[in-house]
Amino acid sequence: MAGRNFRVAKLLGALVLISLCTPALGDTESDWIELREGYREKIIGARVDRINNVKGEDGNNDKQITIAIPREAIEDTDGIHEIVVVGKAPKQEDKPVTLEIHHEWADDYDNDYYGLILTIGDFTELPIRLYFKGDTEAP
């Protein structure tokens, strides 16, 4: 019985350690973001500031989207090692869309916001969701 209690206590200790480390990993996600200037999503407060036409590397017309990310939503952009951009699934009868996306952080954007600049090839009007992935190793 004492051995079983020790294993349970050890398992509970591991679960507590995992739960304490998980928030520190820095993963954040947005709500669906409509790709129109002025749109603000509700989870982290990301706001679409600008949508510009730019010439892509392949000569096609791309869209450059500047999204203001509140500093309170992300501690530091240096801790973000991956940004995953997901497009909302189109209707069943529509052809699936694969987006070619490049991102960069604006060097000097606004006091209370980081500037995330997305360049999207074959622009679509479908909403997107952002996932910011931090360090995956426990501190």
Interval 86-107: pLDDT, tens: 888 767 666 655 667 888 988 7
pLDDT at position 67 over 90: yes
Mean pLDDT of 43-52: 94
Residue 14: inside a domain, yes or no?
no
Q: How many domains does the chain have?
A: 1
Residue 51: inside a domain, yes or no?
yes
Residue 2: inside a domain, yes or no?
no
Q: Which domain holds residue 77?
A: 26-133
Mean pLDDT of 36-56: 92
Among candidate residues 116, 114, 134, the one with its CA nearest the CA of residue 33: 116
Which residues face 110 on adjacent strands? 113
**Mean pLDDT rounded to a whole number for the chain:** 74
Residue 11: inside a domain, yes or no?
no
DSSP 89: P
Residue 5: inside a domain, yes or no?
no
Residue 69: inside a domain, yes or no?
yes
Q: 3-state DSSP helix/strand/coil percent for the chain, to nearest 5?
A: 20, 35, 45
